[in-house]
Homo-oligomer: A and B are copies of this chain.
Amino acid sequence: MNYEIKKYRMADVTITVWKADKTRLANQEVTIAQTKHKFLFGAAAFDLVPLANSEYKGEKKVQAEQRAEKLTALFNAATLPFYWARFEPQRGQPMTERVKNAAKWCVDHHMLVKGHPLCWHTLTADWLLSMTTSEILQAQTTRIKRDVSNFRGLIDIWDVVNEAVIMPIFDKCDNGITRLCNEMGRINTIKAMFDAVRVENPSAILLLNDFDVSPAYDILVEGCLKAGIKIDLIGIQSHMHQGYWGVEKTLKILDHFARFNLPIHFTETTLVSGHLMPPEIVDLNDYQIAEWSTTPEGEERQAREVLQHYQTLFAHPLVESVTWWDLSDGGWLNAPAGLIRKDGSSKPAYEELLKLVKGEWWIAPTKLTTDGNGKIQFSGFLGEYELTYAGEQKSFSIAKENAESIMIEV
A positions within 8 Å CB-CB of B? 165-166, 169, 182, 185-187, 212, 214-216, 219-220, 222-224, 226-227, 256, 259
Q: Which residue on chain B has the smallest CB distance to residue A224?
A: B223
In the assembled complex, the Cα of A32 lies from the Cα of B177 at a distance in Å of 53
Residue of B nearest to A260 (CB): B185
The 9 closest A-B pairs by CB, nearest first: A223-B223, A216-B216, A226-B227, A215-B216, A219-B220, A219-B219, A187-B226, A216-B219, A185-B222
**CB of A224 to closest CB in B, whole Å:** 8
Q: Report the separation of the CA atoms of residues A227 and B216 in the bound assembly, to the nearest whole angstrom.
A: 17
Identity of the chain B residue whose Cβ is nearest the Cβ of A226 in the assembled complex = B227
> Which residues of B sit under 8 angstroms from A222, Cβ to Cβ?
185-187, 223
A103 to B182, CA, bound (A): 41
Residue among A215, A220, A222, A227 having the largest count of chain B Cβ atoms under 10 Å: A215
Q: From the candidates B182, B216, B223, B256, name the one contacting A214 in the complex (CB within 8 A).
A: B216
What is the CB-to-nearest-CB distance from A121 to chain B, in angstroms, rounded to a whole number? Answer: 14
Q: Which of A187, A216, A219, A222 has its CB near the most chain B CB atoms (within 10 A)?
A: A219
Can you show 16 pairs from A to B with CB atoms below 8 A apart? A165-B215, A166-B215, A169-B256, A185-B259, A186-B219, A186-B222, A187-B222, A214-B214, A216-B216, A219-B219, A220-B223, A223-B223, A223-B224, A223-B226, A223-B227, A226-B227
Distance in angstroms between the alpha carbons of A215 and B211 in the assembled complex: 14
Choose one: B166, B216, B226, B256; the contact of A226 (CB below 8 Å): B226
Q: How far is the CA of A182 from the CA of B215 in the complex (A)?
A: 12
Chain B residues with CB under 8 Å of A219's CB are 165, 186, 216, 219-220, 223
The complex places the Cα of A272 from the Cα of B361 at a distance, in Å, of: 58
Q: Which residues of B contact A223 (CB under 8 A)?
A: 187, 219-220, 222-224, 226-227
C-alpha spacing A219/B169, complex, angstroms: 12
Which B residues lie within 8 Å of A185 (CB)?
222, 259
